[in-house]
């Protein structure tokens, strides 16, 4: 039985993507070799990498002042690599504190320089986005998380600041059109909206680099990756390939405008259903609700357990909230069909009728 996949990441991928990836494991582009067997310095892989990079640039509508890198180590490594490359020991950077991933980024930056918290939503358990920013004039950049995967909040506008803007877009990249040229650095783990686990996208404006005094180990230095044509060491070949296929799928399916329309349809259906059922309580301020991760609770813990059991029986996985916040969470990434949301809404209504 095919499952309804509401996982928060790694998560659902388009069927065409994993079907093609499966073919490539047996015979990559009629080479007689598996994609798992080809060298990263072959023209075969270079073509894959260059198409992935070009797809990123075309979706973001950014020019050659930016470089597209596929790196190891997850978004978590970017928490450390960003300040290592950009924040001098005596300088300060501003960070938004809107959830557990932003907090981790703040902690990592503290190893390299000073951190000013520009805004925090901690006072209400991160159930909203605090948009009133207090950014010191001398902050070398502002960092924020566009979508808080765990808490289910999302920024619906780009903060307007004078210093370079840096964003962790791990859980909502390519879910909507936005002016990506407002950012100096963007990073995202691939495993939600743009591929399988194992690779992280970093898009960086080249003129941001080389401005600090700290010596940087080459493998952590964005400039060394750029100089090496994004092939400083062996990249995760298969993960880059799956990401290239996923980006190709986004483009073939109408690009970011279509992704946004689909995301809004899914989110409207789910949030309207939840709002109509008093048994279920969405936790996030309406204006800050995420298009990607809907977080809600059932006040009765026993009923919550029963609901999760029913999800399981109906082939719905990934509905349990993150261990740090509990409750329930339904993730609705780019590849999730509306019919999956319809199925869980039917169960929500049926459950509320029986137990409400």
User: Binding residue per annotation — 8?
Assistant: yes
Residue with tokens 């259906």: 269
Quick check: is 168 catalytic?
yes
Residues paired with residue 168 on neighbouring β-strands, in sequence order:
145, 187
Rounded Cα distance between 56 and 294, Å, is: 27
* Binders of ligand PMP in range 100-119 (CB under 6 A): 101
User: Binding residue per annotation — 184?
Assistant: no
Rounded Cα distance between 335 and 44, Å, is: 27
Instruction: Kindly indicate which of the ranges 43-51, 71-79, 256-264, 275-283 contains the residues binding ligand PMP, using the contact rule CB under 6 A.
Output: 71-79
User: By C-beta, is 330 or 345 nearer to ligand PMP?
Assistant: 330
246 binds ligand PMP per the rule CB under 6 A: no
Q: How far is the CB of 101 from ligand PMP (least distance, A)?
A: 4
Instruction: Kindly indicate which of the ranges 14-22, 72-80, 238-246, 253-261 contains the residues binding ligand PMP, using the contact rule CB under 6 A.
Output: 72-80
Q: How far is the CB of 79 from ligand PMP (least distance, A)?
A: 7
Out of 81, 149, 184, 331, name the contact with ligand PMP by CB under 6 A.
149
DSSP classification of residue 106 = H
Question: Could you report how far apart the first and last alpha carbons of the chain are, in Å?
Answer: 30
User: By C-beta, is 199 or 348 nearer to ligand PMP?
Assistant: 199
DSSP classification of residue 187 = E
Quick check: is 288 catalytic?
no
User: Binding residue per annotation — 191?
Assistant: yes
DSSP classification of residue 251 = H
Residues paired with residue 166 on neighbouring β-strands, in sequence order:
143, 185
In degrees to the nearest 10, what's the CA dihedral of 224, 230, 231, 237?
140
Going 225 to 231 to 235 to 237, the CA torsion angle's sign is: positive
Instruction: Kindly indicate which of the ranges 55-63, 70-78, 116-124, 335-343 contains the residues binding ligand PMP, using the contact rule CB under 6 A.
Output: 70-78
User: By C-beta, is 60 or 150 nearer to ligand PMP?
Assistant: 150
Choice among 97, 168, 221, 288 that is catalytic: 168
Instruction: Kindly indicate which of the ranges 20-28, 68-76, 277-285, 342-350 contains the residues binding ligand PMP, using the contact rule CB under 6 A.
Output: 68-76
User: Binding residue per annotation — 168?
Assistant: yes
Q: How far is the CB of 28 from ligand PMP (least distance, A)?
A: 26
User: Binding residue per annotation — 234?
Assistant: yes
User: By C-beta, is 189 or 236 nearer to ligand PMP?
Assistant: 189
Out of 11, 55, 130, 171, name the contact with ligand PMP by CB under 6 A.
171
CA distances from 74 to 6, 77, 284 (A): 21, 6, 27
Choice among 97, 192, 249, 320 that is catalytic: 192
User: Binding residue per annotation — 42?
Assistant: no
170 binds ligand PMP per the rule CB under 6 A: yes
Quick check: is 192 catalytic?
yes
* Binders of ligand PMP in range 174-233 (CB under 6 A): 189
Site string for ligand PMP, 290-329 (x = CB under 6 A): ----------------------------------------
Are 142 and 98 spatial neighbours (Cβ–Cβ below 8 Å)? no
For the chain, state the CA radius of gyration: 21
* DSSP reduced 3-state for 117: strand
Rounded Cα distance between 154 and 161, Å, is: 18
Q: Which two tokens stand for residue 354?
A: 């029986």
Q: How far is the CB of 62 from ligand PMP (least distance, A)?
A: 21
Give residues with Cβ within 8 angstroms of 30, minimum separation 6: none
Burial class (CB within 10 angstroms; exposed 0-12, middle 13-18, buried 19+) of 35? buried
Are 161 and 142 spatial neighbours (Cβ–Cβ below 8 Å)? yes
Out of 10, 20, 76, 314, name the contact with ligand PMP by CB under 6 A.
76
Q: Which two tokens stand for residue 174?
A: 């390519």
Please identify every residue annotated as catalytic: 101, 168, 192
Residue ranges of the annotated binding site for pyridoxal 5'-phosphate are 75-76, 101, 149, 168, 191, 233-234
Chain residues that interact with ligand PMP, rule: CB under 6 A: 9, 74-76, 101, 145, 149, 168, 170-171, 189
């Amino acid at each position: 039985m095919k499952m309804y996949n509401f996982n928060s990441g790694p998560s659902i991928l388009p069927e065409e993507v994993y079907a093609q990836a499966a073919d490539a494991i047996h015979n990559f582009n009629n080479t007689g070799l598996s994609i798992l067997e080809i060298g990263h310095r072959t023209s075969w892989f270079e073509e894959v990498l260059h198409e992935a990079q070009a797809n990123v640039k075309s979706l973001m509508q950014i020019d050659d002042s930016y470089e597209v890198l596929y790196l190891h180590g997850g978004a978590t490594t970017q928490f450390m690599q960003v300040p290592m490359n950009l924040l001098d020991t005596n300088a300060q950077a501003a960070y938004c504190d809107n959830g557990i991933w932003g907090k981790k980024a703040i902690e990592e930056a503290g190893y390299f320089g000073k951190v000013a918290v520009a805004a925090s939503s901690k006072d209400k358990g991160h159930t909203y986005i605090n948009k009133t920013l207090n950014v010191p004039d001398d902050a070398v950049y502002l960092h924020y998380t566009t979508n808080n995967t765990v808490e289910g909040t999302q920024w619906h506008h780009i903060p307007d600041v004078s210093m370079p803007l840096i964003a962790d877009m791990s859980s909502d990249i390519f879910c909507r059109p936005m002016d990506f040229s407002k950012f100096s650095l963007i990073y995202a783990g691939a495993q939600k909206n743009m591929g399988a686990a194992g690779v992280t996208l970093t898009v960086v404006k080249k003129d941001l680099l080389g401005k600090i005094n700290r010596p940087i180990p080459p493998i952590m230095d964005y400039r060394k990756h750029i100089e090496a044509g994004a092939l400083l060491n062996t990249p995760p070949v298969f993960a880059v390939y799956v990401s290239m296929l996923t980006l190709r799928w986004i483009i073939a399916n109408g690009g970011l405008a279509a992704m946004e329309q689909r995301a809004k349809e899914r989110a409207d259906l789910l949030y309207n259903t939840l709002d109509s059922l008093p048994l279920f309580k969405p936790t996030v301020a309406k204006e800050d609700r995420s298009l990607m991760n809907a977080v809600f609770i059932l006040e009765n813990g026993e009923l919550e357990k029963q609901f999760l059991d029913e999800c399981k029986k109906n082939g719905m996985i990934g509905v349990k909230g993150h261990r740090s916040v509990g409750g329930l969470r339904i993730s609705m990434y780019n590849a999730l069909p509306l019919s999956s949301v319809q199925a869980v809404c039917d169960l929500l209504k049926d459950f509320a009728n029986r137990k409400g």
